[in-house]
Amino acid sequence: MKVKDLLKGVEYFCKDKSLLEYEVADISFDNRDIKENSIFVAYKGVSYDTHNDINKLINDSRIKVLVTEKEFDFPTIVVKNGRRALSIISKNFFIKNYEPNYIGVTGTNGKTTTAYLINHIVEFTGYKTARFGTINYKIDKELYPSTTTTPSTYEFYKMLGVAEKANCEFVVMEVSSHALDQDRVYGINFNYAIYTNLSGDHLDYHKDLDDYFNSKSKLFTEYLNGCGIVNIDDEYGKKLLYLIKDNEILTYSFNNNKANCFVEHFDMNLDKTDIVLNLLGEKIHFETSLVGKHNIYNLMAAILTAHHLGIDHDRITRAIKTFSNVPGRLEKLIYNNIYIFIDYAHTDDALENVLSSLRPFRKRRIITLFGCGGDRDKSKRPRMAKVAEKYSDLVMVTSDNPRNEDPEKIIDGILKGFGDKSKVVVEPDRREAIKLALKEAEPEDIVLIAGKGHEDYQLIKGVKYHFDDKEEVINFFEGK
């Protein structure tokens, strides 16, 4: 493709116009992965600035043209923002004329579940979809491993190119605060933007909660051209209402009857929930295998979206009835009448939601096992301990993904949050900790194994080991 065609929609300055006439075969942006005959886009990233390698890059024969954020004493194409340029260049390279219905979900918790629900309802209705998120990326029936919750911009547009060829009419995706901050989806106009909630997480990356919120709100203020769907039980959700301009807004709340969707009635046990919602004045009654009050929020967000898309209520309720579960989200296993739940709760808010949902069904004890990820927000560690202590009869503190941190140090951070350590057991080896928890459990106990959900690995000092909470439970009881 010609460089000038790749640059359509990018503001640039180029002294040597002949660069624009070059033909390139791919896009590069990483010095460890330079493609033959490519245009290289340099930018200052979170931890690395490829401008520092410019002298090597200019002499690399695989690179035909360089796009930079500053001028050098050799010709480059100069742009103000390299990340944004990379997004538009990737879009022009991979996509021809693709205008599906884009549905983006953001918020601290509930993105994956809400995106799965929406995707399911839309597929049930007969549309072809693409879905991007934490667990995997899906294009029609094809699954791809997920790298980050929202793919990097190059990967994102590459996948959209595949979705275009597969004629997917919908793209349902999680849009993380990191992705918004890093312009990974720059170039897309979302038809729907959904806000779930905001609570303490990622404060290693974002300066504070307001900064975290500002990144999330970009989905509504910069990327939305359609309908915003907002949880108004959340304080930041209320703020968001004032920021959304020139777009329709639909709201949801548990019991605020001024919201466009709220709960009239619900009846929940550990297997299913029966719900009556008020949906823009009409009652909608359905049963779901999802449990937990937080999932009612996810359901409201999904149902509002489906309703606005014009999907009739009967079809929505039938779709929800056939929705089984999201892997690793309150995934239930029962052995010897012990109820074991695997859940991805890795923030205090998520843990609070899950444990407060399980607590009413406690016949005997609640045993909670969790750890915290290394190289991630340290402030959530003691807060998670506090929540675990509040709802549990026994807490097993272990490792999550230590990454490059010392597991003992992470555990020390967690232990600071407990008021009373008498019901806390520490076992840094997650496999051993799961065994201990299950050995300890007796019929009618509830065991919550939190933090890793669907993950089938453990990251320790740069090495990815196979590890799967669910597999550990099955092995324990089935003696493998």
Ligand X SMILES: Nc1ncnc2c1ncn2[C@@H]1O[C@H](COP(=O)(O)OP(=O)(O)OP(=O)(O)O)[C@@H](O)[C@H]1O
Ligand Y SMILES: CC(=O)N[C@H]1[C@@H](OP(=O)(O)OP(=O)(O)OC[C@H]2O[C@@H](n3ccc(=O)[nH]c3=O)[C@H](O)[C@@H]2O)O[C@H](CO)[C@@H](O)[C@@H]1O[C@H](C)C(=O)N[C@@H](C)C(=O)N[C@H](CCC(=O)O)C(=O)O
State yes or no: 184 annotated in a binding site. yes
Kindly identify the residues of this chain, within the stretch 333-392, that bind ligand API according to CB under 6 A: 346, 373, 376
State yes or no: 111 annotated in a binding site. yes
Query: At its nearest, how many Å lie between ligand API and the CB of residue 374?
Result: 8
d(CA 211, CA 203): 9
Stretch that binds ligand X, among 33-41, 263-271, 340-348, 372-380 (CB under 6 A): 340-348
Query: At its nearest, how many Å lie between ligand Y and the CB of residue 211?
Result: 14
Report which residue type is found at 250: L
Query: Residue 52, Cβ neighbours under 10 Å: how many?
Result: 12
| Residue 111, burial from CB neighbour count under 10 angstroms (0-12, 13-18, 19+) | buried
Indicate which single residue of 122, 275, 345, 433 sits in contact with ligand X (rule: CB under 6 A): 345
373 touches, from ligand Y, ligand API, Mg ion, none (C-beta below 5 to 8 Å by class):
ligand API
**Residue with smaller CB distance to ligand X, 354 or 446:** 354
State yes or no: 402 annotated in a binding site. yes
Provide the strand spans (E) within 220-358.
224-231, 248-252, 261-268, 273-279, 282-288, 331-335, 338-343
Residue 152 binding ligand Y, by CB under 6 A: yes
Query: At its nearest, how many Å lie between ligand X and the CB of residue 110?
Result: 3
**Residue with smaller CB distance to ligand API, 417 or 451:** 451
Residue 470 binding ligand X, by CB under 6 A: no
What count of residues does the chain have? Answer: 480
Laid out side by side, the sheet with 366-370 consists of 331-335, 338-343, 446-450, 366-370, 394-397, 424-426
Write the CB contacts of 305 (distance below 8 Å, at least 6 apart in sequence).
103, 118, 192, 194, 229
State yes or no: 76 annotated in a binding site. no
Stretch that binds ligand X, among 118-126, 339-347, 384-392, 416-424 (CB under 6 A): 339-347
Query: At its nearest, how many Å lie between ligand Y and the CB of residue 113?
Result: 13
For the record, the structure tokens of 216 come out as: 């999330």
CB 473 within 8 A of CB 449: yes
Q: Percent helix, strand, coil in the chain (nearest 5)?
A: 35, 25, 40
| Residue 195, burial from CB neighbour count under 10 angstroms (0-12, 13-18, 19+) | buried
Kindly identify the residues of this chain, within the stretch 433-452, that bind ligand API according to CB under 6 A: 451-452
Residue 133 binding ligand API, by CB under 6 A: no
Q: Which helix (H) or strand (E) holds 452?
A: none
Site residues for ligand Y per CB under 6 A: 29-32, 45-48, 50, 148-150, 152, 176, 178-179, 182, 184
> Can you say which residues are annotated as belonging to the binding site for meso-2,6-diaminopimelate?
376, 400-403, 451, 455
> Can you say which residues are annotated as belonging to the binding site?
107-113, 149-150, 176, 182, 184, 376, 400-403, 451, 455
Site residues for ligand API per CB under 6 A: 149, 346, 373, 376, 400-401, 451-452, 455
